[in-house]
């Protein structure tokens, strides 16, 4: 079976006309007077929950209150002391199966669509998708207006080789917006179709 580069070479060899990339500098992307409030409202509209956390709040106690029945909590974040599984030390991704709550950290959020950029910060990234419920820690000061700003931020970080802001050491990152959902079948909305059934964003003070 041909590998990726072989396939791409064949495509390139058969390109007859080439076009320059369009100039996007004049695009007036949507902005908001209060990006944080927009992000919170949009998170709710996509089926998630966003909570502004007070400065003296005990994050571990809050997670316990939000998910009192959770038996298996997976996280490699040092401040999450209630974790029963660590995605850095498990033997393989399958060992994270049955995780009730996964706790991860986001770099920045997007007010336009409630997306959060999450670089892979752990050995087994499956924790981002296999957990029944996802808790994302996000500094509330790190909210951009729209996806144009989001990609500009990623591009700038990559150009400056600030890998901690885009892909960390694993070379992988993803946008997550609320819980997993689909309405492909009979237009019936189903939560947790491919990943987490719920997503809670804890908006942290600086």
- Give pLDDT tens digits for 172-182: 899 999 998 88
pLDDT, tens only, 37-57: 999 999 999 999 999 999 999
Residue 20 lies in a domain: no
- For residue 108, is it within any domain? yes
Sign of CA pseudo-dihedral 152, 155, 159, 165? positive
Instruction: Choose among 41, 87, 82: nearest CA to 59.
Output: 82
Range of the domain at 43: 30-204
What's the CA dihedral at 160, 137, 182, 153 to 10 degrees?
Answer: -20
Residue 159: CATH number of its domain: 3.40.50.10420
For 51-90, give one letter per residue: b (16+ CB within 10 A) or e.
bebeeeeebeebbeebbeebebbbbbbeebeebebbbeeb
Residue 8 falls within a domain, yes or no?
no
In a domain, 135, yes or no: yes
Residue-level pLDDT at 22: 81
Q: How far apart are CA 194 and CA 182, in angstroms?
A: 8
User: Does any domain span residue 45?
Assistant: yes
What integer pLDDT is reported at residue 1 of this predicted model?
58
In angstroms, the first-to-last Cα distance of the chain is: 51
Residue 6 lies in a domain: no
pTM: 0.84
Q: How many domains does one find in the chain?
A: 1
Residues of the chain predicted below pLDDT 50: none
Q: Does residue 14 fall inside a structural domain?
A: no
């Amino acid at each position: 079976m041909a590998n990726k580069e072989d396939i791409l070479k064949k495509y390139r060899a058969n390109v007859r006309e080439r076009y320059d990339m369009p100039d996007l500098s004049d695009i007036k992307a949507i902005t908001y007077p209060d990006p944080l409030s927009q992000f919170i409202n949009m998170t709710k509209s996509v089926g998630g929950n966003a909570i502004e956390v007070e400065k003296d709040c005990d994050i571990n106690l809050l997670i316990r209150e939000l998910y009192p029945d959770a038996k298996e909590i997976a996280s490699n974040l040092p401040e999450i002391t209630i974790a029963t599984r660590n995605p850095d030390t498990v033997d393989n991704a399958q060992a994270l199966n049955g995780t009730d709550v996964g706790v991860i950290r986001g770099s920045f959020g997007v007010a336009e669509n409630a997306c959060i950029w999450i670089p892979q910060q752990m050995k087994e990234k499956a924790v981002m998708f296999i957990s029944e419920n996802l808790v994302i820690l996000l500094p509330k000061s790190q909210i951009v207006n729209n996806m144009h700003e989001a990609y500009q931020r990623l591009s700038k970080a990559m150009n400056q080789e600030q890998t901690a802001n885009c892909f960390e050491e694993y070379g992988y990152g993803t946008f997550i917006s609320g819980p997993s959902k689909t309405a492909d079948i009979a237009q019936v909305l189903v939560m947790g179709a491919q990943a987490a059934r719920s997503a809670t964003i804890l908006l942290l003070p600086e």
